[in-house]
A and B are shown apart, each in its own frame.
Chain A
Amino acid sequence: MKRRDFITSSLIAGGLISVGSLGCTSKRETDQVVPDGVVVEPARQIPVLAKTDVLVVGGGPAGVAAAIAASRAGAETYLVERYNHLGGLWTGGLVLPLLSTHGTGKNGERKQVIHGIGGEMAERLLKMGMAIREVNPVVDPEAAKYVLDEMIVDAGVKVLYHTWGANVIKEDNTIKGVFVESKSGRQAILAKVVIDCTGDGDIYNWCGESFDEMKYHIGLVHRLGNTDRVDSSAPGFKKIYLGDETPNPSVRWYNMHGEDEQCGTDMLNLSRLQQKYRMEIWKNTENIRKQPGYEQVYLLDTASQLGVRASRILDGEYRLTLEDTMTFKSFNDAIGVSGAWTTMLYKGKRVEIKDRPYWQIPYRSLLPKKTDCLIVAGRCFCFEKALVEDTRIIGTCLITGHGAGAAAALAVKQNVKPRDIDRKALRKLLINQNVWLG
């Protein structure tokens, strides 16, 4: 090829490429970027990662209980978890106490109400010496992560760590599966029944279910180390708060009430809080270390996730009310019983913790109104806002999770929609799985 030819051909080619690329970009811009700050995502084909019976999104206390219950009942189960551990706020969130394990019966007797998978977890941790107290135990987070992993593996649940649920796959009003996003890119998992254990109700939000938005206080828990190496004989020593007891003698966990009335699903807000809290915690620890006698205390860790206590609350088939929890209301489709951990006002009177009745949770509170084949468990199921203090608690999440998992497995087995499962069979299955139904 002559030099001139080469130049002209390359020029022509270059021109063509540039024209082509220009055309391409301008076309994509008009297609994807819509003027009012929205982008259109082009349709694409997503590989199906798996087809399964039951898919649990979210590996917190509710998700783990749901996955184990479903798998033990004979359904093939997948669990999707965004972090590298199970247990959600209980372990990674460092909210260590498992509250509401006990409730008061009709004759005023106080008894354990959380059995089943949740009870099993607490029992195992107690046996390992990694929990203090039998009533409302405080656990070691690493031990809890280990126990949950062990139980999940034993039950044969397939876990996808580091994976986010990204959207739902829906046909009419039936959920067919969930898109997940991870380092492997976007993938789809198809399932006969999906259990929404995201805590914030992401799945039912994507399904278009209606819900209440609750703005509540959001905190960030941290732990302090060397809390047993405080020198109380130092001159000028003053007792200061270092957090609450954990199974580890040198470690205390430090809870934070946090800013009030915060939106738990707004990422910008959550990021702001995260940064603010981390700085506050560091500053506070520095202040502690400056006190005479406290020099060796250090910041062990901050929680891997913010303590979002309540966000979306489902508008489901039945709204559990404060009255239900105060009057021993009995449901024919009860999936479990939970206890209480704080005082409450009812009909103008104060009800002490020790007098708070245990309360049944009905299966229909876990069912969304429109979407089929979706069950909701964890702190975002359907209840009255006045109840939030009791429903958002880890104990209650374990109960709703277990119920949802068992119901999902039953729906697969009976080949019906979760809405239509035989309530008697559900009751039998739950009792077989050692759940106490009151």
Chain B
Amino acid sequence: MYGWVKNFVKKNLRTIFFVLVFFLSLPIEWGILQGIYLWLSPNIVINRLMAQQGLIFVQVFSFIVLWICIKRKRWFCHSLCPLGWCFHIVKWKKTRKNSIFKNIKGGEIVALFSIGLSLGGVSLLLIFDPLVILRTFFSGWILPVSICGALWSSFFLLLLILNLFLPYFWCNHICPLGGMQDLAVGLSKEPVVLFSRRNTLVLLAGWIIGYLFTDKIKIKEEKTILRPPSARKGSVFYTSCLRCGNCVDVCPTSIIQLDQSLDNFLSWQTPLLNYSKGYCLSDCVKCGQVCPGGALAPFSIKDKKYMLIGMAQLDLRACLLTQNKECDRCKSVCDYEAISIVHELLKSQIHIDNEKCVGCNACVLICPQNAIKVLAV
């Protein structure tokens, strides 16, 4: 019995993994498990390391994966890759499983170039990682569906169509994860390979381009957009965000949404805050925990009071206290002790301490008069 199960798992591991990926990508409350499979990709982890974004402990799994891949050639592609599974299903020519990965060429260069870019601070090529491609396909359908989402998810469909004509072309020649496995095998045999003329040149080119990209191209940051609490500032945010939508699914109050305005291409499908119906809970750190690319840095509950989202601004004319009505709702819900009530000659006035306010929106939400707004800073 046990042997039968073992055999079944061995044979169908990739199918099982695809089913797992499928369910973990659905917008169901999985909590920390949301999109956890992204951590299995050594490609994401190494790029994130190179871009100095810091790791969290679940990423240890990816090193195990990398180790197995060194022992067995392209183990990830054969046994786990859900994108490869899709390619396997959607094709015309009959191809035997063993003959898939032949004439492998090019992946290594893409992987090296990606690492170079990450060293320069731009981990943008991560969007070519097969797990990310699949995840963005699913996140494209997070309601409400928009043109941006449809375009992002269409990349996966495009690859499927490409696969109809050139089976496994993506896997053999472009996929950076595949390339990274080959690279790892090569390095484990001869570490000197890294310093071959080709590899050094590619790495250097990537690094220089990455460096120039972060330094020269200034992204027009819109001052009206509120980002999740630990979002990185500046262009790093746009380049390290994988548009995976993990943070959207994991947010308990559903305030994180994907940017669907077409104005800024770089901002497409990046997370932003929609404060109309919720606020950022003071005891929640989930978005930082599930971010694979490091666009949202992991943080602790203690850190939360230093993470500035925006700044609350009070319209004194609308405040009930100004009208001599009794109210302290905003103060009662402020977990950061940023709101105080000052009493003078029968009149009380709300005072918001800008040093302590992080812009969590709790006061905005509870205010019976809608007298408070959170502005981006």
Contacts and interface: CB of A to CB of B under 8 A. Distances in A.
Given A345-B279, A348-B278, A349-B253, A255 B326 contact: yes
A389 B332 contact: yes
Given A259-B343, A260-B340, A260-B341, A345 B362 contact: yes
Given A255-B325, A257-B328, A342-B329, A350 B343 contact: no
B344 to A, nearest CB: 8
B345 A254 contact: no
B252 interface: yes
A257 B343 contact: yes
B333 interface: yes
Nearest to B284: A348
Interface size class of A (residues with CB under 8 A): 20 to 34
Contacts of A344: 366
Interface size class of B (residues with CB under 8 A): 20 to 34
A281 B366 contact: no
A353 B252 CA distance: 23
A119 interface: no
A254 to B, nearest CB: 7
B323 interface: yes
Contacts of A347: 252-253
Contact of B345 (A284, A342, A386): A284
B329 A255 contact: no
A241 B326 CA distance: 14
Given A241-B324, A254-B324, A257-B321, A281 B281 contact: no
Contacts of B368: 342-343, 353
Given A255-B326, A343-B366, A345-B365, A283 B341 contact: no
Name the residue in B321, B324, B329, B362 with the highest tally of chain A Cβ atoms < 10 Å from its Cβ: B324
Given A345-B279, A348-B278, A349-B278, A260 B343 contact: yes
A243 interface: yes
B161 to A, nearest CB: 42
A345 B341 CA distance: 20
Contacts of B326: 219, 255, 257
A124 interface: no
A296 to B, nearest CB: 20
A231 interface: no
A386 B279 contact: no
Interface string B309-353: 000000000000101111111011100000011110110100000
Contact of A255 (B324, B340, B366): B324
B13 to A, nearest CB: 39
A343 B252 contact: no
Contact of B341 (A257, A350, A353): A257
Contacts of B345: 280, 283-284
Interface string A58-99: 000000000000000000000000000000000000000000
Interface string A93-133: 00000000000000000000000000000000000000000
A289 interface: no
A169 interface: no
A292 interface: no
Nearest to A276: B343
A258 interface: yes
A258 B253 contact: no
Contacts of B332: 386, 389
Contact of B346 (A260, A281, A389): A281
A41 B368 CA distance: 52
Nearest to B251: A348
Contacts of B342: 260
Contacts of A349: 253, 277-278, 365
A280 B347 CA distance: 10
A217 B328 contact: yes
Given A349-B277, A349-B278, 9 more contacts: A241-B323, A257-B324, A257-B341, A260-B341, A280-B345, A281-B346, A284-B346, A348-B279, A389-B329
18 contacts: A217-B328, A243-B324, A256-B324, A256-B348, A257-B324, A257-B343, A260-B331, A260-B342, A260-B348, A280-B346, A342-B327, A342-B329, A344-B366, A347-B252, A347-B253, A348-B253, A348-B278, A349-B278
Q: Which 10 A-B pairs have the closest CB atoms?
A: A348-B253, A257-B348, A260-B341, A350-B365, A259-B343, A348-B278, A284-B346, A343-B368, A345-B366, A280-B345
